[in-house]
Amino acid sequence: METKTAVITNPTGDAQYEALNLETKAAVINHPTGDYQFEIINLGELHPDEVVVKVVASGICQSDEGVRDGSMAPLPAVLGHEGAGIIEKVGSGVKDFKAGDQVVMSFGYCTVCESCRTGQPSTCDHYNELNITGGEHQDGTHRFYKKDGTPVSNFLNQGSFSAYTITSEASLIKVDPNADLRKLAPLGCGLMTGFGTVTSAMKPETGSSIAVFGTGAVGLGAMMTAKIEGCSTIIAVDIVDSRLELARELGATHIINSKTENVQERIAEITNGKGVNYSVDTTGVSQVMLASVQVLSKNGVAVPLAVTKNTMEFNPLGELVLGARKLLGVNLGNVVPQLAVPKLVDYYNQGKFPFDKLIKYYKFEDINRAASDAVNGTTIKPVMIIDEEYRNDDPVEYVS
């Protein structure tokens, strides 16, 4: 679909970087919580540390839904931050990638602040400006522009709901040239977050117990990882029976439908009254976040990681202090994506992280349906095929 034309790349007219003269079909959110609308927009200039990626596929994460109201990246915006594709062009300062490389994309980080230098890029000093507030460069330029010159935000340094996008080298994870990018696309956020929450933040001892509240991609990612890490009691909590059944198939030793069962009582029963060593909340529902703290054993650790404005009210003395419990904030699993994603691919290849069971494929033009299927619980991980030509001798099965 790429047609090369003369385009406005920088309305200030002081272009310092390489003009791409490349336009792209993108799904744009123009109004708070409005539908995705397909538009042909322009790519901005390529900065030295950046690459143009021809996007093959992109997962939809619940965080895309969470920011569709314009509360973070200002609208208009191209969302999408679980993209994978093929590098089309590299900027003059890119060291480790070349055109034609297959990549999975993840969040952006500066690489030089204290957090980045100590292997914790998800708390990068520049995290917000790189990932959350729309992707405007320090020089005021953007990755996308409408034809009339209006800047268009991206999200999490990607904007993967677009046939082409610009991201920085720090967001790229190189994958095997033979790997199927349609499958690997969603590894850069939700699943990696669940994985890292267990491996980087909890670090459970072999034989530990864990309760996972919410069995979407993040919760199931945490659950499959808890099994790999040797947790022996893995309790999945949700209100959707089909998700709980899948959780059982993927390694939950116990499942609890909290609509019909009392979670605290059941967890007390399962753990002989001790409570669980670890819990993670992915629901963002106030009472559930609180329950995830209340089911902890002494010295237990709870990680609430939903993107939500909801609050949790509790008495710290009763819920934390007397039991020496801990509440941890963990962003994006606190991992280095370039180290975490290849591990997930290895675990997948060994049959230990069968995340493909969560995926349903949609055509890019069905993005609005894919998003609503994610919200209403029909699909755990919608993945849109953005380049239908990719491996078209081995077509995926689309949701009909």
Pick the closer one to ligand NAD by CB: 218 or 231. Answer: 218
If the CB atoms of residues 87 and 124 are measured against Zn ion, the closer one turns out to be 124
Size of the site for ligand NAD (CB under 6 A): 33
Report what 292 binds from ligand NAD, Zn ion, none; CB cut-off 5-8 Å by kind.
none
Please report, as residue ranges, which positions from 56 to 95 form the binding site for ligand NAD (by CB under 6 A). 61-63, 66
If one asks whether residue 258 binds ligand NAD (CB under 6 A), the answer comes out as yes
Distance of CA 232 to the CA centre of its chain: 27
Q: What is the dihedral of CA 47, 51, 56, 59, to 10 degrees?
A: -70
Nearest approach, Cβ of residue 187 and ligand NAD (Å): 12
* Pick 90 or 263: Cβ nearer ligand NAD: 263
**Cβ neighbours for 351, distance < 8 A, ≥ 6 positions apart:** none
- Show the site string, 148-177: x = touches ligand NAD by CB under 6 A, - = not: ------------------------------
Q: Which 311-370 residues touch ligand NAD, going by CB under 6 A?
A: 331-332
Among 79, 94, 247, 288, binds ligand NAD (CB under 6 A): 288
- Interface residue with ligand NAD among 51, 84, 163, 217 (CB under 6 A) is 217
Q: Is residue 216 close enough to count as binding ligand NAD by CB under 6 A?
A: yes
If contact means CB under 5 to 8 A according to the sort of partner, which of ligand NAD, Zn ion, none does residue 231 touch? none
Which tokens sit at 15?
């272009």
- Are 244 and 269 a contacting pair, CB within 8 Å? no
Question: 352 is written with which tokens?
Answer: 């230990």
Q: Which of ligand NAD, Zn ion, none does residue 331 bind to, with CB < 5 to 8 Å depending on kind?
A: ligand NAD
Token duo for residue 201: 């933040």
Report, in Å, the least distance between residue 346 CB and ligand NAD.
21
Contacting residues for 254 by C-beta, under 8 A, at least 6 apart: 233, 234, 235, 236, 266, 270
Nearest approach, Cβ of residue 8 and Zn ion (Å): 31
Residue facing ligand NAD at closest CB distance:
216
Q: Are 297 and 205 in contact (CB under 8 A)?
A: no
DSSP codes, 303-366? EE----S------HIIIIITTT-EE---SGGG--HHHHHHHHHHHHHTTS--GGGGEEEEEGGG
**Minimum distance of Zn ion from residue 96's CB (angstroms):** 18
Determine the distance from the C-alpha atom of residue 299 to the mean position of all C-alpha atoms in its chain, rounded to a whole number.
29
Choose the stretch contacting ligand NAD; rule: CB under 6 A; options: 17-25, 31-39, 284-292, 387-395: 284-292
Contact window for ligand NAD (CB under 6 A) among 71-79, 155-163, 283-291, 384-392: 283-291
Question: Which of ligand NAD, Zn ion, none is residue 124 near (CB under 5 to 8 Å by kind)?
Answer: Zn ion
Residue 25: half-sphere exposure toward Cβ, Cα within 13 Å: 11
Of positions 240, 268, 328, 399, contacts ligand NAD by CB under 6 A: 240
Does residue 294 interact with ligand NAD by CB under 6 A? no
Which H or E element spans position 211?
Answer: strand 209-213
Nearest to Zn ion of 211, 306 (CB atom): 306
Q: Which of 219, 275 has the CB closer to ligand NAD?
A: 219
Q: Residue 116's binding partner, choosing from ligand NAD, Zn ion, none, with beta-carbon cut-off 5 to 8 A by kind?
A: Zn ion
Min CB(74)–Zn ion separation in Å? 18
Report the alpha-carbon distance of residue 107 to residue 121 in Å, rounded: 9
| DSSP secondary structure string for all residues of 348-398 | HHTTS--GGGGEEEEEGGGHHHHHHHHHTTS-SEEEEES-TTTTTTSPPPB
Find the helix packing angle between 241-249 and 217-228, rounded to 10°. Answer: 20
The DSSP H or E segment spanning 293 is helix 286-294
Per CB under 5 A, 239 contacts Zn ion: no
For tokens 């953007």, name the residue: 142
Interacting residues toward Zn ion by CB under 5 A:
61, 63, 109-110, 113, 116, 124, 189
